[in-house]
Structure 1
Amino acid sequence: MTALFRRLLGPAIDGLAPSLRAVHDEDDDQVWKGLAEIRASDNPFARLLCWIMRLPARGSGVPVTVRFERHGDAEHWHRRFGDRQYHSTLQIRNGRLIERMGPAANSFDVSVVDGALHMDLVGFRFLGVPLPRWARPACHAVEQGQDREFRFDIPVDLPLFGRVIHYRGRLERIDD
């Protein structure tokens, strides 16, 4: 089956930097490792939400491992940031990328701009309930490739609470 991001983006995927195409346009399972910088809010509600979602804990130089698995029409991303793990399942629905993480489902518009992959959150469900625009998180995730590296930059904001978490880092593919 054609890779999920190839199905989502069509020929636009050819505009991605080579290391990003290696992540998103191949059918094989992959493991990438590197380091991240994680900034998280001091707000108790925001910290609780990050803990519930198993998002990364704050830190600098945090070891990261991401395993990308392809199964049928879905991808499974298994992430480990230090001692905290979380995973998500990605599928395409109505031309959008749907990412399921525990009790949440994120809906993203995905595009390629200047060799980078942009993922803009346009819908969010928690426990199956869709949140209106004014209440849902905001996220504009960007992935860039440089040489053999995969770089990610993921800020998440919540209305009334501001920045909940911002994690960024770089990964390199580990060949088996």
Structure 2
Amino acid sequence: MQSVVSRWFGAGFERLHPLLQALHLHGGVLVGPIETALGQGLARPFGRAIARKLGIPLQAGRHTLRVEIAHRPDCLLWNRRFDDRQRMDSTFRPVGAWPGGIWLEQTGPVRLGLAVEVIDGGWYWRCRKAWLFGVRLPLASFPQSIGYKRIEDGRYRFQVTFTMPLLGKVLSYGGLLESRPARAAE
């Protein structure tokens, strides 16, 4: 069996942890507690603006996250639900192939060109390009996103942090989620 993800990675797919391989072959549902945090001082309003645009809770602290991962022949879908209220949906389209290719992530008006590094079986995103409402932006003017997903003790650890030059961290969210079979998404 293959998926859009396994085809993009090619032989490199085997470098991912077996549980990440299964998730990206069959899809699935990830559920659990997360922590969100906003930057301090001048960074705080920027973090709130990013959270508002992406559908991330504006209040820092503990939340519940449900992520439904599905595959189409030409894309990967991530549908996130924060506290069963706020929604953040992303479509990932592959360009080229690993290790030199990227994924184009579309989340609302934001599109990111993301390279992937595999480190100790984990998947680490590296932002290479950014667009807002279809307009390409210089990376220096756009909040940088640092994200990863890896397996810890049989669970799915993920972290996403947005930073800005001179301000540092403006927003982050992450947690340790339990995996459920894809049919649990129905």
Match of 1:92 in 2: 94
How far apart are the structure 1 equivalents of 2:111 and 2:2?
23
The answer to which structure has the higher helix fraction is 2
Q: d(CA) in 2 for partners of 1:29 and 1:133? A: 31
* Contact 1:19–1:147 (CA under 8 A) maintained in structure 2: no
- Alpha-carbon distance between aligned partners in 2 of 1:100 and 1:160, rounded to the nearest angstrom: 26
Match of 2:4 in 1: 4
What's the CA shift for 1:168?
1.2
- The alpha carbon displacement at 1:129 in A equals 0.6
Structure 1 match to 2:138: 132
Q: Structure 1 vs Structure 2: percent identity of aligned residues?
A: 27
Distance in 2 between residues matched to 1:90 and 1:67, nearest whole Å: 13
Q: Does the Cα contact within 8 Å between 1:39 and 1:59 map onto a contact in 2? A: yes
Superposed counterparts of 1:71-150, under 5 Å: 71-82=72-83, 83-94=85-96, 95-150=101-156
The letter for the 1-side match of 2:87 is: Q
Deviations 1:54-87 (A, max 9, x none): 1243443311100012122111110012232110
Q: Distance in 2 between matches of 1:84 and 1:38?
A: 13
1:160 is displaced (CA, Å) by 4.7
8 Å Cα contact 2:3/2:73 also seen in 1: no
- The answer as to whether partners of 2:161 and 2:173 remain within 8 angstroms in 1 is yes
Whether the 8 Å contact between 2:124 and 2:149 is mirrored in structure 1 is: yes
Structure 1 segments, 4+ long, off by >3 Å, are 56-61
2:170 maps to 164
Residue 40 (structure 1) shift: 1.6
Unaligned runs of 5+ in 1: none
Aligned counterparts of 2:166 and 2:134: Cα–Cα separation in 1 = 22
Partner of 1:32: 30
**Deviation by residue 1:121-175 (Cα, 9 ceiling, x = unmatched):** 1110001111112212212211111243111011111235432211111111223
Contact 2:114 2:126 in 1 (8 A): yes
Aligned to 2:52, what secondary structure does the other structure show? helix
Say if 1:92 and 1:4 are closer, same or farther in 2 by CA, change over 3 A: same
After TM superposition, the structure 1 stretch with the greater mean CA deviation from structure 2, 120-129 or 4-13, is 4-13
2: CA distance between counterparts of 1:18 and 1:60?
Answer: 31
Q: Distance in 2 between matches of 1:70 and 1:148?
A: 22
Partner amino acid, structure 2, of 1:98? L
After TM superposition, the structure 1 = structure 2 runs for residues 6-85 of structure 1, keeping only pairs within 5 Å, are 6-24=6-24, 26=25, 28-41=26-39, 43-82=44-83, 83-85=85-87
TM-score by length of 1: 0.89
Q: Which amino acid aligns with 2:17?
A: A
Consecutive unaligned residues of structure 2, counting only runs of 5 or more, are none
TM-score, normalization by structure 2: 0.84
